[in-house]
Amino acid sequence: MSYEPEKKVVLGFYDALSRSKDPAIAETLSSYCEKGLLWRGFHPFNELTGIDDVVQKFWLPLWSSLTGLQRRMDVFMAGANEIEGHSSVWVVSMGHLMGLFDKNWLGIPPTHKMVFLRYCEFNKIENGKITETAMYFDIPHLMMQAGLQPFPPQTAAQLVQPGPMTHDGLMFGPQPAVEGEKTLAAINAMISDLGRWDSGLSLVDELRRTWCEDMIWWGPSGIGATYTIERYAKQHAGPFRSSFADRSKTKHICRMAEGHYGGFFGWPNFTARPTGGFMGMPATGKTGEFRVIDIYRRSGDKLAENWIFIDLLHFWKQQGVDILARMAEVPRT
């Protein structure tokens, strides 16, 4: 199936946005988005409704802080949403927003140097317009580039994350339908295992059911990236499972695939109660939400790479720790 009309809408929007000056951003969004646009973003933006809200609270502040803003995409794809019975089409892009950090943003001090803001964006297209957006971004990664340390030392590696090893994630043209079906099947098999935590297998053997041995898990800042099943189990999956109880079932708003790539997002994806140790923080006993986007690359019949966006600022705020407010109080030198 071809998703060229929907892709054309989003590519046109990105192009127009890249050429917009501050006063024209609202006009650009009005041209490509429904007036009542539902926009979901990480804390402190959360859920915004309407073009004016999105422009005033997100785009204009970001635009004025990151001079010469560029969108550098690593993945671009579209697909029918399995969660809605394949009745709606969503277009997804992932990569970095890059610019010169010239002005305070969210209390993060400017560096006057180039910075990268990891992002992933799901856009629902209806009647030639964007009607819903989920735009998730790694704000703690930007904090670290500004010299701040929002979290205790993480279990995996802190990096500016590259795109797919195969360099084939930008799918501007149509892809064989059978490949997307295989990718979605691989993602669903992984979700089935992930949601159980009681397979009776060791964690490493469980992961081997759906992951390539040399898989890469590109996790968010505060957790980090990790390579190979054995190190992923040791540096994230194992510590995460041992740090939580009462994990809810997975619930997604969109789950789709095209070619060898696919992904999903939820609002939230799941809830869990911290029992201590996660990211070096003590247990609170409070159930917290995990807002997550996952993007995957499939190799053969298993998953090879995974880029993850988790709203850690939102999660920890629910636990009584306001990371943004705490960073704003750090003395400047």
Give the C-alpha separation, 33 to 36, whole Å.
8
Alpha-carbon 50 to chain mean position:
22
Same fold, 4-145 and 177-325: yes
Q: How many Cα atoms sit within 13 Å of 74 on the Cβ side?
A: 22
| Domain segments of the chain as ranges | 4-145, 177-325
- Among 1, 164, 191, 162, residue whose Cα is nearest residue 80: 1
62-71, 141-150, 208-217, 274-283: which range is least confident on average?
A: 274-283
Give the C-alpha separation, 189 to 45, whole Å.
33
pLDDT tens, position by position, 53-73: 999 999 999 999 999 999 999
| Three-class secondary structure of residue 68 per DSSP | strand
Q: How confident is the model at residue 331 (pLDDT cuts 50, 70, 90)?
A: low
N-terminal to C-terminal alpha carbon distance within the chain: 56
pLDDT tens, position by position, 16-31: 999 998 779 999 999 9
55-59, 134-138, 149-153: which range is least confident on average?
A: 149-153
Q: Residues near 184 by Cβ (< 8 Å), separated by ≥ 6?
A: 82, 255, 256, 257, 262
Do the beta carbons of residue 220 and residue 312 sit within 8 Å? yes
pLDDT tens, position by position, 170-220: 999 999 999 999 999 999 999 988 756 566 789 999 999 999 999 999 999
Q: What is the pLDDT of residue 9?
A: 98
Q: Which CATH entry fits the domain spanning 4-145: 3.10.450.50, 3.40.30.10, 3.90.1070.10, 3.40.50.920?
A: 3.10.450.50
Give the pTM.
Answer: 0.95
| In this structure, CATH architecture of domain 177-325 | Roll (3.10)
